[in-house]
Structure 1
Amino acid sequence: MQSPALFPLFYLPPVSYFSALSQHDYIFELEKFEHFPKQTFRNRATVVSPNGPLNLFLPVVKGSKFHTTMKDVRISYDFKWQRLHWLTLQTCYRNSAYFEYYEDDFAGFFEKQHEFLFDHNLEIMDWLFKQLKKKVDFQFTTEFVKDPEVVADYRDRSMFKTDAAHPAKPYFQVFDDRNGFLPNMSIVDLLFNQGPQSKSFL
């Protein structure tokens, strides 16, 4: 019998990530032992700004980009990225329908300092599932396997960069009068705009 689908662990993942999870009934394993790849959603998120898509980068300690196991990647606090991310999210979503509904809980992620990226992302992921009313039993890999016998392997760095494989129907977004609908933004874009209805869009 094959193992569940295999997923990387992202920072504020795109909507397509959750669409893929839903296709596997949220039965999956999270990869802990891969080498940390650069320029992926593992430490980046894309939100909607007045000028279109905006990337938020979570900095990692120098050296983490070279053959460091994902579970061992450390977050850098050399500059106040948490304050920058939180101010950006407030600027982008203050006028959305549900930002205030989630604000108090969500703000805590930009005050607490985790040492490791994996732990930081996992705590946010747990919170996101709770907002989506999904009870998930987290499972993790115990070693890195290049070609695992799994239902589906989503670890490739090109996965989730577009929503072509997991398209979502349009929903109202702040600034859609300027940008039109922007697909595959961070899941927080869906939450802040659709609130408890978000799970029906996945």
Structure 2
Amino acid sequence: MDLSLLVWISIENCISLFLQNLFYEAQKMIIAIHQPNYLPYLGFFDKMKWSDLFVIYDDAQFNKGDFQHRNKIRIYNGWKWLTVPVEKKQIPIKDIKIKNHVTTWKGIKWSDSHFMEIRDNYKDTPYYSTYETELISIYKKKYDRLIDLNMVIINFLKKVFDIDTKIVFSSDLGFISKSTERLVEIVEALGGDIYLSGPKGRDYLEVLLFEKKGIKVEFQAFKSPVYKQRYEGFIPNLSAIDALFNVGEIPK
């Protein structure tokens, strides 16, 4: 057989194998799991964007030191916490109740105070007015459970960031095992091929448990994009509303 023909056949076979592998990789389902945070940061939505299925880990235990009931916004001299007053109990996030009777030292309801803080610090940004009506609607409503407030905000930001990833709730699956084992059970039950973990997962995930089930673990490589903020000097990893009001989208 002519040598040039053999070379051509070899090249064709390599291309075919490459395309098959590419197709196979494209068919794999990527699943991410994350607690339902309050006013989540951009990394939350970056993880959601890269997933085929995003699991809200609502039956994880509430952690008062985490971001489930608080997050940061930009103010003139740096950043500030916005914290939802909740019953800080060692129970699942989905069962955490909001203390709606709590007011500021000025007698302002916590929800009105949060709205006013956001309005006063972002009203002069390019896109605040575009979303103010929705923001008013969110903070005007009374929520008994933290999960309900957080999901309204998450779904709002998911929509404006044009993310079409499907969301499911871990509590609907009924698993009661601990730590990595439960994550494996969730991904396996949902037919996932790849588990997309946050970068901190390297510190605690038992990757071998995933591999035993044929599930590949990948770690999110998120780095906060730099964009123009209202006040001078850039502060990363604030609530995603900071990016929304300043640039109108997820910054590139």
TM-score range, shorter chain: 0.7 to 0.9
Take 2:132 and 2:59, find their aligned partners in 1: how far apart are those partners?
33
Take 1:68 and 1:2, find their aligned partners in 2: how far apart are those partners?
31
Take 1:29 and 1:188, find their aligned partners in 2: how far apart are those partners?
22
1:24-35 → structure 2 map (5 Å cutoff): 24-25=50-51, 27-35=53-61
Take 1:116 and 1:4, find their aligned partners in 2: how far apart are those partners?
26
The answer on whether the counterparts of 1:12 and 1:124 sit within 8 Å (CA) in structure 2 is yes
Residue matched to 1:129 = 158
Take 2:55 and 2:86, find their aligned partners in 1: how far apart are those partners?
24
Residue matched to 2:234 = 181
The answer on whether the counterparts of 1:8 and 1:154 sit within 8 Å (CA) in structure 2 is no
Q: In the alignment, is residue 191 of structure 1 matched against residue 214 of structure 2?
A: no
The answer on whether the counterparts of 1:172 and 1:181 sit within 8 Å (CA) in structure 2 is yes
Correspondent of 1:49 among 69, 75, 78:
75
Residue matched to 1:152 = 196
Residue matched to 1:12 = 39
Letter in 2 for 1:168: S
Correspondent of 1:112 among 123, 126, 141:
141
Give 5+ residue unaligned stretches, structure 1: none
Letter in 1 for 2:36: L
Larger % of helix: which?
Answer: 2
Take 1:43 and 1:103, find their aligned partners in 2: how far apart are those partners?
22
Compute the displacement of 1:200 (Å): 4.8
Q: Using the aligned pairs only, state the percent identity.
A: 26
TM-score for the superposition, normalised by structure 2: 0.68
Residue matched to 2:99 = 76
Residue matched to 1:89 = 118
1:48-94 deviations in whole A, cap 9, x for unaligned? 00010111001103xxx232111110111122111111110111101
Larger % of strand: which?
Answer: 2
Take 2:62 and 2:199, find their aligned partners in 1: how far apart are those partners?
11
Take 1:113 and 1:49, find their aligned partners in 2: how far apart are those partners?
26
Q: What SS does the aligned partner of 2:39 have?
A: coil
Q: What SS does the aligned partner of 1:42 have?
A: coil
Q: What SS does the aligned partner of 2:224 have?
A: coil
Q: In the alignment, is residue 169 of structure 1 matched against residue 225 of structure 2?
A: yes
Compute the displacement of 1:35 (Å): 1.2
Take 2:223 and 2:40, find their aligned partners in 1: how far apart are those partners?
15
Radius of gyration: which is bigger? 2
If asked which structure has higher relative contact order (CA below 8 Å, sep 6+), I would say 1
The answer on whether the counterparts of 2:51 and 2:196 sit within 8 Å (CA) in structure 1 is no
Give 5+ residue unaligned stretches, structure 2: 1-27, 104-108, 188-194, 204-219
Q: In the alignment, is residue 40 of structure 1 matched against residue 93 of structure 2?
A: no
- Tell me the C-alpha RMSD between the 2 structures: 2.4
TM-score for the superposition, normalised by structure 1: 0.84
Give the direction of change, closer, same or farther, for the CA distance of 1:60–1:156 in structure 2 (3 Å limit).
farther
Compute the displacement of 1:21 (Å): 2.4
Displaced runs of 4 or more, over 6 A:
none
